A and B are shown apart, each in its own frame.
Chain A
Amino acid sequence: MVKQLTVFLENSPGRLARLTRALGDAGVNMRALMVADTAEFGVVRIICDRTDVAKDSLEAAGFSVSVTDVIAVAVPDHPGGLADILEVLGAEDINVEYAYCFVEPGGTSAVDVFRVERVSDAMRALGEAGIRVLRAEEV
């Protein structure tokens, strides 16, 4: 299980830049950043090293931050790799709220991040199917 930071952002010029600058100034390195937008606001999801430092520095800069548990899985780099994983969750009737992926530099596999309804059930099902769920320090 991995801690993800979520920041509620208004859609206005420079807001995302200020967010990333605040993280940069705090010496936080981002692994993944995903922006979900609607017409009026955005929700920015971040996976980074030193989650606590990142959260404090964002709040000090006036952002509203919540911490969410997500599941990160190393997905083999071949056709159907992601489908195998999603079928495991589907078979358990676990709904995926959202997902995104990123590639580790120099790695042979992609990392997929899932937000699911029942995190512990999902972890167990993935484990039983032999799929390796990444620990926080592995991401």
Chain B
Amino acid sequence: MFQPHDETMDRARLDALQLERLNALLSRVYENVPTYRRKFDDAGVSPHVDSLAELAEFPFTVKDDLRAGYPYGMFAVPMKDIVRLHSSSGTTGQVTVVGYTAGDLDRWADLMARTIAAAGGTDEDVVQIAYGYGLFTGGLGAHYGAERLGCATIPISGGNTKRQVQVMKDFGTTILACTPSYALLIAETARDMGIDPAGLSLKAGVFGAEPWSENTRTEIERQFDITAIDIYGLSEVLGPGVAAECECKCGLHVNEDHFIIEIVDTETLRPVPDGERGEVVFTTLTKEGIPVVRYRTRDISRIVPGECACGRTFRRLERVTGRSDDMLIIRGVNVFPSQIEQVLLGIPGVAPYYQVVLSRKGSMDHVEVHVEVSPEVNFDEVKTLERLRGRVSAEIASALAVSIAVKLVEPRSIQRSEGKAKRVIDLRAEGSE
């Protein structure tokens, strides 16, 4: 553990710390950010609370608030205090800009050091940062965390996958940080180069920035022979370092000394008790540059009830399986692309690469999943392929409660991602067919 004193603090002390920090935050944003002042006034709340429960009376902050303030309207400090700018990855809609003070960067490094330590990292480790460096928070976020922990840090960034493998082998990388889909591509590339990924000195990986399934974890762990942990963050709240799994892999500990997490009902938007699912909402307690109060992430998850065996007292966020923005509604059924991935990884003969293609047939939306046949399949007989397609189709129908057309495509024909995988292709605007 990187900061055991903080990470295991008792809940009463944590509550007191959160309350103190929350009040400081509320008055800070009320004083310095016109949007918050207006929203608080409109909602009839004053920037002071006597208990944490009162936070539920405050208005939410949404992505559109940040867009409306583009680029610096939501900053709570003068620009002279900002030392770093990042921008959201633009996975959905227009980008937003986030600014960090020197203090923000210092705390961010601590939080990412906690994350890498939770994966088993120490100052003995060699960490390969294959998240993209640049405006995306993933690369630099992980970078400063790894350095803070004292690891030998390789700032290789994403891309040039053969070089990733070569560096991993030559530099003796022990911890890999990248998106889970990129980890699978690195393993595949290693095999193409005649290098057994399980024979490398890698022992752990910290993977995030896109939803992934338990089966993908199993697959990554098997292919590299490592421990793979899930990390969570979003640029509007911090970047990576908001929450991370520990070695128990039973939910992601939220760094509650720096963030308040709420789960709210998706209809009523009222907080729900631990254990119930809803939209994840974060309040940043210590951010100076661009703090947020009750930011709606669009991520759907729940708090895992109970205590964790690792000793951390921070509550655990269940693995986020999808962002509500990624959610597809297919004939009335909510479908997250990660559910399809979970199904595919359980079927021998198909590769874990897929795309959901949306098109329009007449006035109807048509959904088709393109699935790669694994190169190991003996596809000489058409009936083998037909059976495989039938099985994929049946298992998707059974897991998702909706039937979706399945198309088998050639091995290695779906574009590999070096960052966030593009799982949904929407052709509906093009008026195809």
Contacts and interface: CB of A to CB of B under 8 A. Distances in A.
A16 B278 CA distance: 50
Contacts of B378: 66, 68
Contacts of B410: 8-10, 41, 63-64
Interface string B407-420: 11111110000000
A68 B380 contact: yes
B396 interface: no
Interface of A: 4, 6, 8-10, 36, 38, 40-41, 43, 45, 62-64, 66, 68, 97-98, 115
B433 interface: no
Nearest to B374: A64
Interface of B: 373, 375, 378-383, 385-386, 407-413
Contacts of A66: 378-380
Contacts of B373: 8, 64
A10 B382 contact: no
A24 B313 CA distance: 67
Nearest to A6: B380
Nearest to B373: A8
A8 B381 CA distance: 10
B407 A38 contact: no
B410 to A, nearest CB: 5
Given A10-B409, A10-B410, A10-B413, A41 B380 contact: no
A38 B412 CA distance: 20
A38 B413 CA distance: 19
10 contacts: A8-B379, A38-B386, A41-B407, A41-B410, A45-B380, A63-B410, A64-B410, A97-B381, A97-B383, A98-B381
Contacts of A45: 380
Contacts of A64: 373, 375, 379, 410-412
Contacts of A98: 381
A41 B385 contact: yes
A119 B383 CA distance: 18
A85 B140 CA distance: 70
Given A41-B409, A64-B410, A64-B412, 6 more contacts: A4-B380, A6-B379, A38-B385, A38-B386, A62-B412, A66-B379
A115 B384 CA distance: 14
A40 B375 contact: no
Residue from B375, B408, B410 with most neighbouring chain A CB atoms (10 Å):
B410
B408 A41 contact: yes
A40 to B, nearest CB: 5
